[in-house]
Structure 1
């Protein structure tokens, strides 16, 4: 579904991502793990059109999306939930979800998808008229995910969905991610909580200073001595 070949990204003279290649197959959950500054967020931002690659190829469903505008990438079926959630704090829950459907014309289907979001995140329905700023961190994460789902993505990019959340909310968010995947959405996940991410992932890639240094199934990475020592406290 998604193929990345020899991707490099620069910030000025700094090469943040160096000749990275990986793929995400339809129906998978794939994790990118690594320390802060490894290049994980830069990769997601490049996939969603927010960064311009220095070189390399990015294809989605066989179509080149290298360097095309973010709006067109969303139209092609990729949605991005950024690190730190970035909900529209002065808008209500309902208005935030409407922003997720901004590019859609099928209003009746949008209503159905919004209803599905409320089925998946009942707390958002309870808070439908509240400003997003009044929600807890976990509720804002649910809203950011719900907003992305209203755009009908085939591939969902999730950047640090557990950041700043209490342990109870972390388990709930990851359970929801698994459910979203089981309902047909492919997921590329960037996550500092490597253990929980790999537990739900079909496959994973480990990044260090802009390079992929290890790859494998979620299970094999969980059992890897190198990964355990570096990321799992083993």
Structure 2
């Protein structure tokens, strides 16, 4: 479904991604793990069109996305939940969800999709008229995910969904990610909590300083001594 081939990305003189290649197949949950500054978020921003690679190519369902504008990438079926959530704090929960469907014109279907989001995240239904800035961190994460789903993505990019959340909420968010995947959305997950990420993913890539150093089956990687020592606390 998604193929990155030899992607190089720079921030000014800093070589952030040094020739990464990866693929995501339809229906999978694939995770990118690695320490801070390894290039995980940079990889997602490059797929979303927010950063331009200097070299390499990105294809999605056979179409070249390497030089495509971000809103066009959303219309092709890729949606990103950014790190830090970035909900529109002075707008209500419902208004945030409606904004997620800004490229769509099918009003009746948009309503149905809002109901689907409320089924996944009952808390959002309870808070639908509330200003998003008054929500807790966990509720804002749910809203950011719900908003991304409103564009009906074929591929959902999740950047650090567990960041800053209490352990009980982390479990809840990860079980919802599995639920979203079961309903037919492919997921590419960037996550600092390697243990949780590997527990729900089929495959994983390990990034270190802008390079992929390991890849393979998530269960096997979780058992690997190198991964355990570096990311799972031994």
TM-score normalised per structure 2: 0.99
Q: Which residue of 2 aligns with 1:218?
A: 218
CA–CA separation in structure 1 for the residues paired with 2:18 and 2:131: 41
SS of 2:177 mapped into structure 1? helix
C-alpha displacement of 1:45: 0.4
In structure 1, list runs of 5 or more residues that go unmatched.
Answer: none
Q: Which residue of 1 aligns with 2:153?
A: 153
Q: Which residue of 2 aligns with 1:170?
A: 170
Would you say how many aligned residue pairs link Structure 1 and Structure 2? 234
CA–CA separation in structure 2 for the residues paired with 1:190 and 1:112: 29
CA–CA separation in structure 2 for the residues paired with 1:49 and 1:67: 7
TM-score normalised per structure 1: 0.99
In structure 2, list runs of 5 or more residues that go unmatched.
Answer: none
* Cα displacement string for residues 42-98 of structure 1 (whole angstroms, at most 9, x for unaligned residues): 010010010011110000000000021010000000000000000001110011001
* Cα displacement string for residues 124-160 of structure 1 (whole angstroms, at most 9, x for unaligned residues): 0000010001100000000000000011000000000
SS of 1:90 mapped into structure 2? coil
CA–CA separation in structure 1 for the residues paired with 2:103 and 2:61: 20
1:5 is aligned to 2:5: yes
Q: Which residue of 2 aligns with 1:46?
A: 46
Q: Which residue of 1 aligns with 2:92?
A: 92
1:58 is aligned to 2:19: no
Q: Which residue of 2 aligns with 1:231?
A: 231
Runs of 4+ in 1 over 6 A off after TM superposition: none
